Every structure is written in structure tokens, then in C-alpha cells.
Amino acid sequence: MPEKIQSVSELTKKIQFVLEGSFDTVTVQGEISNYKHHSSGHRYFSLKDENSQIACTMWKTRPVRFQMSDGMKVVITGKISVYPPQGKYQIDVISVTPLGQGDLYLAFEALKKKLDEQGYFTSERKRAIPALPMKIGVSTSPTGAAFHDIFSTIERRFPLAEIYFRPTLVQGDGSAEDIVKAIYELNTYSLDVIIIGRGGGSIEDLWSYNTEIVADAIYNSSIPIISAVGHEVDFTIADFVSDIRAATPTAAAELVTPVTIDYLFNFTGDALNSLVSLTTDKIQDYMDIIDDMSGPSMSRRIIEKIKTNGQLIDDYETRNSQNIKRTLSFLSQRLSLLEGHCKSLNPVAPFNKGFALLESEGKIISKDDSLGNYIYIDIIRQNERANVTINKVIPKNN
């Protein structure tokens, strides 16, 4: 009997059943190729070696602690699955890690170069920390040493400051995403500065602070951020993006408390002493004045003061009168000079000296215009006008 004819979907389902049922979780080493981080958040790539390759899918709910890219060697753990629409088998990736510390370093350098080219590290966008921060945001693990170092330092140096603490995952699955959420949540408060960080650890432990999503959150923060990740020798991407990098969490707490409570006490004490001294001196001055005005000679001194002030008023009046007279004389002379100058500029003033204007058909004849160009002209004097016919023009020899 002929074998039953199957549809493509039926055959694919059988293959899927057999294939997925034949493998438990697999761990595979290889090189990433054709990497694509889809807008949906899912990641698609091929894992290859020198002879073969296999498709891989990693859903957005599964965290990645480093920047994946083509050519990177990784170790992935996942399950074999079949994608029926394309009839292909693939690895449903559960976790992915770079192959050794050297590859983590390469991943770090790749992201550092990318963000540097995008201007994330430029000094021009770095913001200064306020001189006296009163509201300080803190994002770190509630169980780590960094929590104790930051809180105890702020409490000791400047207990007047308010601390807005957001407990945060600092390593492991989901930690990078939680750091991002912490930064966004702290940005909803009117804070002066934010500290993000944790204590020391291996490069794997610190890796959440080397992710692109954390760098983006720091870059987009509207509040200045101090990064305090690890020990003094540890550097992360977060350190380069932040407005200030602190060598340790304790150093970060010292940076946000430049003015200590001891300094305030000393400053207040000095100011109080100065105020008391100034007030005492002023009171003594007034007491001396009162002493001078008291006693049997008080009336005589008052009369002498009145006479002296009366004489000063007379002197001021005399000087003012003299100054006014001098000013009026000067202005009168100046006015006369200006009047004479204005008269000299009067266009009809030359008539008083016997000069006349030559005019033809209402147009003034200039000195450069020859009389030979006219037949009839008018001679205009101060009190008369004459109509003249030009018969002959004789040029004047210079």
C-alpha cells in the first residue's frame, strides 16, 4: 500500500517532536556571526566554527551582561528547537558568556570605543556637583559594604543631608536592568546628585556597569551622577559616562559632602564671635557719644555745635553763589560765541558786505559755471534784484 501523504506542517511537527525530545540543555562554544539586536529586544545570530554554523535566538527577557557583536567568541547554553515557519532548527539560548576574561576585555573595549565615538565621554557634557548637596540619591545593594561606607561617611561628615536610597541589584541576572530602573526612579525626585556603585569584585561581578543600557541611563540622567564602582583600580563604562568618577564608594560620599558639619560649626562660631565683637564696639561708640553729651557742659557744647554748623552753612552758601556766578558767566560767553558762529553761517550774511547772488531761471549759478552759458541772468542783492543780458564774457586770468 502506498505511504500516507503528509503535509509540510505535519512532517515538520514530527521532526520537531523527535529533535526537541532528543536533546536536553546543550552548551556550545563558537563565534557570533550575523548578529542582530531587533527593535523588539530579541537577539538573533549564528554560532559558527571553521566548519559549521547553527542559528540562535535569545529572547529579550534573558539578560546579557556585555555588548554582543560579530566575531566575538562565546559559550552559550540553551535548548534545541525547531522554527516551523522556516523549517529550520536552532538553539533557544538561555544564557551567553564571553569565552574567558580576554573576551570580556574585548567586549569592554568594543563598547567603550562605540560610546566614545557617540560623544558619551566628552568633558563638555559633564556637569559639576553642587557646592552644598542637601538631597543625595544612592543606588547600590542594601547588603554590600558600599551601602555601609556611603551612609556612614555622609552621616559622619554632613548629617543634615537627606539620602534617597534605592536598593538595587548590582550583579547577576537582571542587575543591569535594575540599575537602569534605579537611575530613572531617582530622577523623578528633586535631587542634587546621585551616587551609583558597589564594592569590588571580579570583572564578571562588575559587568552590569559595563552594559550599554546602563551607559544610556547615565547619559540621559537629568541629575549629575557620581560613579563609584569597585576599588580604585577598577574602571567601568559607567565611570567614563558619569559626570564624576569616584575611586571608591567612600570617596563618592566624601565628594558629595565637601562642606562638613564640623566646618559649619566652626564657621558659625567664628561668625558669632565677629558679630558679638562688632556689636560690642558699636555699643561702646554710642556710650561714648552719650557721655560727651551729658554733664554740666552739655548745653555749652550743643550751642557751640549749632554755631559751628551755622557757619558751615554760610560757607557753603557763599561757595555755591560764587560757583553759580562763574557757571553763568561761562555759559554766557559760550552762548555769544555760538551766536556769532551761527550768524557767520547764515547764507544771506554776505549780502551785508555787498556781495550778490547770480541766478538764472530760479537756479543759483555756481562759481564753476561759466556766465558764457547764459543769456539772461538775475543779480540778487540784499534789497534789490537786477535783470541782466550777457553780451560778452571775459575770462579772468589767475
Considering the domain 8-98 in this protein, what is its CATH number?
2.40.50.140
Report which of 130, 225, 213, 141 is spatially closest to residue 187, judged by C-alpha positions: 225
Report which of 331, 385, 108 is spatially closest to residue 237, judged by C-alpha positions: 108
Is the pLDDT at 100 greater than 70? The verdict is no
Is the pLDDT at 72 greater than 70? The verdict is yes
Residue ranges per structural domain of the chain: 8-98, 133-259, 263-312, 350-389
Instruction: Tell me the pTM.
Output: 0.51
CA atoms within 13 A on the CB side of 111: 25
The pLDDT of 17-31, averaged and rounded, is: 83
Percentage of the chain with pLDDT > 90?
36
Which of 61-70, 178-187, 231-240 is the most confident on average? 178-187
- Decide: 82 and 15 in contact? Cβ < 8 Å: yes
> Which residue(s) pair with 165 in the sheet?
138
Supply 189's cell numbers: 525626585
Q: How many C-beta atoms surround the C-beta of residue 242 within 10 A?
A: 29
What pLDDT does 158 receive?
Answer: 92
Dihedral sign of CA atoms 226, 229, 234, 236 in order: negative
Averaged pLDDT of the chain? 86
Considering the domain 133-259 in this protein, what is its CATH number?
3.40.50.2300
* 3 state DSSP class of 44: strand
- Decide: 79 and 90 in contact? Cβ < 8 Å: no
Is 133-259 the same fold as 8-98?
A: no
Burial class (CB in 10 A: 0-12, 13-18, 19+), 330: exposed
Question: For the chain, what's the residue count?
Answer: 398
What pLDDT does 298 receive?
Answer: 64
Is the pLDDT at 103 greater than 80? The verdict is no
pLDDT tens by residue, 304-327: 778 788 888 888 888 888 888 888
- Decide: 26 and 94 in contact? Cβ < 8 Å: no
Supply 185's cell numbers: 526612579
Pairing verdict, β 26-37 and 73-83 = antiparallel
